[in-house]
Amino acid sequence: MNQFTITNAIIVPLTEKKEVVQTGYVRVKDGIISDVGREPAPDGETGPVLDANQQILLPGLINAHTHLYQVLLRAVWEDLSLLPWLKRIYGVAEVLEPDHLYAGSLLGCLEAIKGGVTTVCEHNFLNPHPECAGETVRAIRDSGLRGVFARTIMNTGEIVPLCVREKPEEAFQLIERLLADHFNTTADGEKERISFMVGPNTPPINTTGELLKEIRSFADRHSIGISAHVAESQSVVDFVREQHGRPGVVAYLQDYGIPGEKSIFAHCVHLSNEEIQILRKTGTSVSHNPVSNMMLGDGVAPVIEMLREGVNVALGTDGAASNHSQDLFETMKVASLLQKVHHRDAGVIDPYTVLRMATIGGARALGLDRICGTIELGKRADLILVESRVPHNQPINNLFSQLVHCAKSSDVQTVVVNGRILMRNREVTELDEGRIISEAQRAGRDLMQRLAEG
């Protein structure tokens, strides 16, 4: 569908203006938002018309940090803190096959679509076979989602299996091949839909200082960003203090030039005020993953402190192995309430800020803010329609608060990415939902059997 118009919508553009268009329209042409306004729409060639029937039109949500295949490991490990949990996750690598990654990642993408997520940042860190990374990229491509694929490298660590410890030069060659395959084989109109990052996974517990230098050099050479798990638990901070004599993980990474405008640090739970200043001065973004942090007992990230200092904060679910879902509506509500109770201040964060963390905040963190994250002329049509006329969303008194605190992922009716309608009236249009679920069930059973036998 090269051209269509969404009419009769409650439009929440999520720009800095904090406006709502109570009855408006959006025109899409060749994947781009070509017109936004109040009804009635002016005459002209519009293509098919989609009557929103007073559903809420939002920019698509952006999941700034996840591990898609981990839907196969949903609710497998409970009651574990980060390092014991990581030991089990890393151990999966010894039985993980490329087809597990494809089936699981495609199910994760399907869950994202059904929940109103239009962009995912996939932080990839288990690559026991050369094909593993490519299978995840293929799943994102097949799903129709916008994706940022962060291919990370581990080269040390007691709990890291040998099968995923890589020699840096070999890992960089694989990443270069991945980049070449994408840009040489993907159709021109689709190339921008998937972009790439590199990263050190969870420094310094599985990455040497020398590798950090090489990662920064590689990222600069290829003009791509860096993704890393940073200061997720106190145990990682203790490690960097004991083994490297630095006060915190961000301070340690600063020694190697890892913070920067194209860097996104997931978690950042345990930071000093000085480290928050490093993030601010370097333009580093943070993916806040509150549900995962709560599940693993990591602590509460200093979100308010970072926002007050001007650090860009996005929202992520993290993988389903430490969250159990990929629900960004749930993440918005938890992000809001967790800061209120942590600070014992009901007004410490407002719903509009949370909505922007889940949209334009994510876009900025991933270098996509010129492409998506708000509803504005010239941006790509990454859009969702949310049903307002259901009991838990009525009556509408404060739309922003109700989107964060009342709306559910199952309220999402329509999803558009790059101008392609991926879901309409809760029915996915380009994927076989039943087949994807069946294949993921098969892959999950196979993975669990291999883990049991191993």
- Chain centre to alpha carbon of residue 334: 16
What pLDDT, on the 0 to 100 scale, is given for residue 190? 82
pLDDT in tens, 131-179: 999 999 999 999 999 999 999 999 999 999 999 999 999 999 999 999 9
- 382-406 pLDDT tens trace: 999 999 999 999 999 999 999 999 9
In the beta sheet, which residues pair with residue 414?
A: 385
Single-letter amino acid, residue 3:
Q
Is the four-CA dihedral 233, 237, 240, 243 of positive or negative sign?
negative
Q: How confident is the model at residue 186 (pLDDT cuts 50, 70, 90)?
A: confident
| pLDDT tens per residue, range 404-444 | 999 999 999 999 999 999 999 999 999 999 999 999 999 99
Query: What single letter denotes the amino acid at residue 153?
Result: I
In one letter, which amino acid is 53?
A: N
Beta strand residue intervals within 83-237, DSSP E? 117-124, 146-152, 194-201, 225-230
Tokens of 220: 């600069």
**pLDDT tens for residues 252-287?**
999 999 999 999 999 999 999 999 999 999 999 999
Q: Reply yes or no on whether the pLDDT at 1 is more than 60.
A: no
| Domain 61-365 grouped into CATH 3.20.20.140 | yes
Domain boundaries defined on the chain: 3-59+379-428, 61-365
The Cα-based distances of 441 to 73, 103, 124, 127, 433 in angstroms read 11, 9, 21, 21, 12
Tally of CA atoms within 13 A in the half-sphere of 122 that contains its CB:
34
Q: What is the pLDDT of residues 30-57, one digit of tens each?
A: 999 999 999 887 776 778 999 999 999 9
In tens, the pLDDT along 299-350 reads 999 999 999 999 999 999 999 999 999 999 999 999 999 999 999 999 999 9
Mean pLDDT of the chain, nearest integer? 96
pLDDT for 33? 97
Is the per-residue pLDDT at 454 higher than 80?
no
The pLDDT value given to residue 189: 75
Report the candidate in 176, 151, 289, 316 with the shortest Cα–Cα distance to residue 233: 289
> Residue 188: its pLDDT value, please?
77
DSSP 8-state code for residue 129: S
- Check if the beta carbon of residue 203 is closer than 8 Å to that of residue 228: yes
How high is the pLDDT of residue 320?
Answer: 97
Residues with Cβ within 8 Å of 441's Cβ and at least 6 positions away in sequence, in order, are none
pLDDT grade, residue 183 (50/70/90)? confident
3-59+379-428 domain in CATH 2.60.120.1440? no
